Amino acid sequence: MSDSETVPQADTPQVPGSAPALPEGALKIASGYAFAGPALDLGALLWDGRCLPDAQVRIPLPMLNRHGLVAGATGTGKTKTLQLIAEQLSAQGVPVFLADVKGDVSGISAPGQENDRVRGRAAEVHQEWAPAGFPSEFYALGGMGHGIPVRATITSFGPVLLSKVLQLNQTQEQSLGLIFHYADQKGLELVDLKDLRAVVAFLTSDEGKQELKALGGISTATAGVILRSLTAFEAQGMSPFFGEPEFDTSELLRTASDGRGTVSVLELPAVQDKPQLFSTFLMWLLADLFHDLPEVGDADQPKLVFFFDEAHLLFNDASKAFLDSITQTVRLIRSKGVGVFFVTQTPKDVPADVLAQLGNRVQHALRAFTPDDQKALRATVKTFPNSAYDLEEVLTGLGTGEAVVTVLSEKGAPTPVAVTRLRAPESLMGPVDAAVLGQAVKSSPLYGRYAQAVDRESAYEKLTAREAAREAATAGRQEEKPAARGRTAAPAEEPSVVEQVVGSGVFKSLARSLGTQLGREITRSIFGTAKRRR
């Protein structure tokens, strides 16, 4: 043996790739993160108040479709954690979706700025930090913001999600589902809000009341409530979110020419005061992806990782049917290669059935200033596996950019709980200049496809034309009455296509068997969202 070789002492714990000085407890934790395959680097282990850079905390790339939770009080570093994970996913060729609620995620497209804090953090965790921007697309709901407009048709959005936006109760939600079914059967396409309002207005008119009776179970009072909700919703400036061209969610799955995954950033600051709308719109994006993607099982890496920011807004005041649909979507979309990370303040913001499916956890600091805070803290601790740490004490003492982590190993088992000092993002930690953002949006090949709204013939135009034709026919008959005296009556005018459909015996028969047909027609997807025409 040469003099340059050393023999480790028998009582010195070892871990692959580490220095020989890890304490025994830290060594046990570090060994749980020594993955053989590709993984994302989160940071370095904290033990007894010391940062141990040779004990790296990581997430296996194939486990990113097992979903996750990023939680913590305001100002503890959740956004930077999302940025850190998104950067590494993009670098490994995985597309990412980020909801930018506060307007500070756009910096992921630009290289970061080195400073003393960044250099210090990189040195602490043994990070080879280098500034880098990542391929990005910027979107805005309905074009309210700088990004490429994201719209959905009312038909595609479906009655369950729309009921959440309109804050309808269960009975009203069921009635709205029947109205959608009526429009679907009559060939009345619901593209925008005025289409749905026109259909509901028709069903509450003297002529339409007969149609309501055929549908069964919808009172004119309930239809009136829905109509008023739609009118109020439109009066609040919500019209731009619904219409065409409808956003194709497959755009979120793109990669750049260099093989890196595209980071899709949905700008939300302009709709911060409409939480029901944007949180439900995010769910529509997920539901639409679920609708279209094929089953892939357990792949080497996800097709997409979707970060659902301000997740508590999605679950607030949600009906049981809505929560059941969320739970089912989260459970099943994993097998289609999509990982979902919910981002919120505490795990208690997420229903237990959903929380149970979130295998990867990054928990930033919590506050314990009030009895409710203390209750939330204790509840959070109970959601973690057994730990060598006093988590109640740790979670209230974490600094910015530190978190308690547990993920799923390559075998699918939970890793040991690791208090972690997180790495620094390599992209800009803040928004890019508005002029730069605007130029990026307008130079995107998607801008020409989605920028200009289109208003084609749909339910509103068809019903308006039908009413105009009926009025014209009535006026014509009244004018012909004097001239027709003493003459043989002319053959009755051939009914229009719409009138034939409305009065058809086929639909009346269908309405009578609505109990069996409704399940097949409206629940053709988990949220009742319609299959789009690509």
Q: Is the pLDDT of residue 522 over 50?
A: no
pLDDT at residue 475, rounded to an integer: 73
Average model confidence (pLDDT) for the chain? 85
Q: What are the φ and ψ backbone dihedral angles of 350, each rounded to 5 degrees?
A: -110, 130
Q: Is the pLDDT of residue 390 over 70?
A: yes
Do 485 and 273 touch, CB atoms closer than 8 A? no
User: pLDDT (tens digit, 9 = 90+) per residue, 451-506?
Assistant: 999 988 888 888 888 777 877 777 776 666 665 555 554 454 555 444 443 344 43
Distance CA 101, CA 121 (A): 26
Q: Is the pLDDT of residue 222 over 60?
A: yes
Q: Is the pLDDT of residue 28 over 50?
A: yes
Distance CA 75, CA 365 (A): 9
- Give the lowest-confidence range in 179-183, 254-258, 411-415, 476-480: 476-480
Q: Which residue has the tokens 């731009």?
A: 240
pLDDT at residue 485, rounded to an integer: 53
What is the identity of the amino acid at 86?
Answer: A
Q: What is the DSSP letter of 389?
A: S
Residue 402 structure tokens: 């530190």
Q: How confident is the model at residue 15 (pLDDT cuts 50, 70, 90)?
A: very low
Cβ-based burial of 265 (10 A; exposed 0-12, middle 13-18, buried ≥19): buried
Q: What is the DSSP letter of 310?
A: S
- Give the lowest-confidence range in 92-106, 172-186, 393-407, 500-514: 500-514
| CA 60 to chain CA mean position, Å | 23
Q: What is the DSSP letter of 101?
A: S
Q: Which residue has the tokens 């919120």?
A: 344
Angle 186-191-197 from CA coordinates, rounded to 5°: 75
pTM beyond 0.95: no
What is the rounded average pLDDT of the residues 189-208?
Answer: 88
pLDDT at residue 316, rounded to an integer: 83
Closest CA to 333 of 69, 60, 65: 65
User: pLDDT (tens digit, 9 = 90+) per residue, 232-288?
Assistant: 888 888 889 999 999 999 999 999 999 999 999 999 887 878 888 888 899 999 999
Distance CA 426, CA 86 (A): 11
User: pLDDT (tens digit, 9 = 90+) per residue, 297-337?
Assistant: 788 999 999 998 888 888 887 878 788 888 999 999 999 99
Tell me how far CA of residue 365 lies from CA of 299, 360, 377, 436, 505, in angstroms.
Answer: 33, 17, 10, 34, 64
The strand ranges marked E within 345-432 are 360-363, 402-406, 418-422
Q: What are the φ and ψ backbone dihedral angles of 308, each rounded to 5 degrees?
A: -100, 90
Tell me how far CA of residue 403 lies from CA of 86, 311, 398, in angstroms.
Answer: 17, 19, 7
Q: State whether residue 250 is helix, strand or coil.
A: helix
pLDDT at residue 12, rounded to an integer: 41
Q: Residue 97 belongs to what H/E stretch?
A: strand 96-100
pLDDT at residue 532, rounded to an integer: 52
Q: Is the pLDDT of residue 29 over 70?
A: yes
